[in-house]
Amino acid sequence: MPETSKTVTNALRLLACFTRDQPVVAVAALARRLGMARTSLLRLLATLEQFRFVERAPGGGFRLGLRAFELGSVYLESNPAPALAVAALDALVAATQCTAYFGVLDGDEVLILMCREGSLPIRLIWPAGSRLPCTTTALGKAILMRMPAAALESQLGGRKALRTLTAGSLRNRKELERDLAAARRAGWAVAREESHAGLTAVGAAVLDGSGTPVAGISLSYFDHPPDRERLRRLATLVREAAERLTAQLRGHRAYGARLFPEPAASPGR
């Protein structure tokens, strides 16, 4: 392992404390979570505040600043996949009225990079920036099903028990292996009530030039009563959209051997 900077590591761990579920965090909570002395933490916050990576929130505590937002925007603009995915998601929504997603794997989680809300009267939205256990989503399983066994093992951290969100979530590796085998035969992945009660999703992977899955596309909708023909029709549309996006990326001048870097270890996660 290369030598790293403790100060930079602490700054990045601090920034990682701000999440969609907890966008504002008090100083005392940050100190407890990071295990830092209050004086050291205040110096770090003052530095990050000076460079606008954090700012004071009305009513107390801190939140992410404008510079953090700017860097996130640069990531999306510098990567060709999300930009090209916009048209694919919009076309899927127009054809199906379902909600469409584009996301990537980060460790054992799916990170939603883009969401296009459908127009069905009843719908559930995971906004961009949301994280979900990858094995609870069709998008995540679509990526996993295209990975070799060693890469899949590394992605899941070798754990046998899986993180769950509902009673319908896959609970262990045996159930996951059975589910992924069925997905490989079908050419697409499905998640029925695995991330939220009543919600069904179908997903397919986007591949890089070497055939490695780097992202995924999915559609989600409330399937009640269950309609298998509708499920197959939506799955076909998602798979075709993923194949078109894969072809577009291969022809893009900014396309490289890998669009998304391997996830680094996340301290404190």
Q: What is the pLDDT of residues 119-173, one digit of tens each?
A: 999 899 999 889 999 999 999 999 999 999 888 988 888 778 999 999 999 999 9
**How many whole angstroms separate alpha carbon 212 and alpha carbon 260?**
11
Q: Which CATH architecture has domain 79-250?
A: 2-Layer Sandwich (3.30)
Sorted by where each begins, the domain ranges of the chain are 6-71, 79-250
99 sits in which H/E element? strand 99-106
What phi and psi values does residue 95 have, to the nearest 5 degrees? -85, -25
Q: What is the pLDDT of residues 176-206, one digit of tens each?
A: 999 999 999 999 999 999 999 999 999 999 9
63 vs 269, more confident: 63
Calculate helix-pair angle for 80-96, 66-78, nearest 10 degrees: 80
pLDDT at 193: 96
**How many whole angstroms separate alpha carbon 239 and alpha carbon 208?**
15
**How many whole angstroms separate alpha carbon 78 and alpha carbon 6?**
28
**How many whole angstroms separate alpha carbon 187 and alpha carbon 43?**
53
CATH of range 6-71; options 1.10.3470.10, 1.10.10.10, 3.40.190.10, 1.25.40.10 = 1.10.10.10
Confidence of residue 267 (pLDDT cuts 50, 70, 90): very low
Structural tokens at position 123: 């719908």
Of the candidates 74, 70, 50, 63, the residue with the CA atom closest to the CA atom of residue 20: 63
Of the candidates 107, 113, 141, 159, the residue with the CA atom closest to the CA atom of residue 269: 107
